[in-house]
Structure 1
Amino acid sequence: MAQPDAVRITTARSSAADDMKLRKRRYAWSMSIRLVCFLAAVIVGSGIVMWLLIAGAVFLPLFAVVIANATDQRDDGFTLPDSPGTHELTASDPDER
């Protein structure tokens, strides 16, 4: 059975709890911006700026979900060589001395 590749600490993913906390924070910020767009559209009144703010408020949830669900993709491409010429360290046998 093949052993899994070693993981470098610099490329290790964050914990599930930290990942969920970060996703919730991103989504909350996006929805806050959406609320500001709606309020600004009401304050601005009629005109092109109002329609741009409304469009931003309408389409922001789509992007907010995509951004919030973006996962941690850290990977530097490093894997330990797995070739026949690679030697592994073994425990020494006290009888072989």
Structure 2
Amino acid sequence: MAESDVVRITTARSSAADDMKLRKRRYAWSMSIRLVCFLAAVIVGSGVFMWLLIAGAVFLPLFAVVIANAVDQRDDGFTLPAGPSAPELTAGERPD
């Protein structure tokens, strides 16, 4: 987005605190699923399903980090014009 583009409030990103809270929540859910995969692999015992659960538990952190660090990129494709042709509110003439 160019520096002179105007952003509507509906396309504004969430606050840094809300974004961090959401990232932590996503990561916690992913790690909970990883723990369930490990526990299920122990309970299932030997076999193909056990190895699938272990593979899921091993590779899930990679995807968890990528998902947790996904950036909020809200955009409805609409930006208001900026520059000399853009309408502008003025305070008006000051009475002397």
The structure with the largest alpha-carbon Rg is 1
Tell me the equivalent position of 1:27: 27
Gaps of at least 5 residues in structure 1 are none
Query: Aligned residues, how many?
Result: 93
Q: 1:85 and 1:4, CA in 2 relative to 1: closer, same or farther beyond 3 A?
A: closer
Give the % identical residues.
84
Question: Are the structure 2 counterparts of residues 48 and 69 from structure 1 closer, same or farther at C-alpha, using a change threshold of 3 Å?
Answer: same
TM-score under structure 2 length normalisation: 0.84
Unaligned runs of 5+ in 2: none
Q: How does 1:67-86 map to 2 (within 5 A)?
A: 67-82=67-82, 85-86=85-86
CA contact (8 A) 2:7 2:80 kept: no
What is aligned with 2:66?
Answer: 66
Superposition RMSD on alpha carbons, in Å?
1.9
1:50 counterpart residue number: 50
Higher RCO (C-alpha 8 Å, min separation 6): 2
Contact 2:38–2:53 under 8 Å retained in 1: yes
Distance across 1 between alignment mates of 2:86 and 2:18: 37
Aligned to 1:14: 14
Amino acid at match of 1:47: G
Query: Which stretches of structure 1, 4 residues or longer, exceed 6 Å deviation after superposition?
Result: none
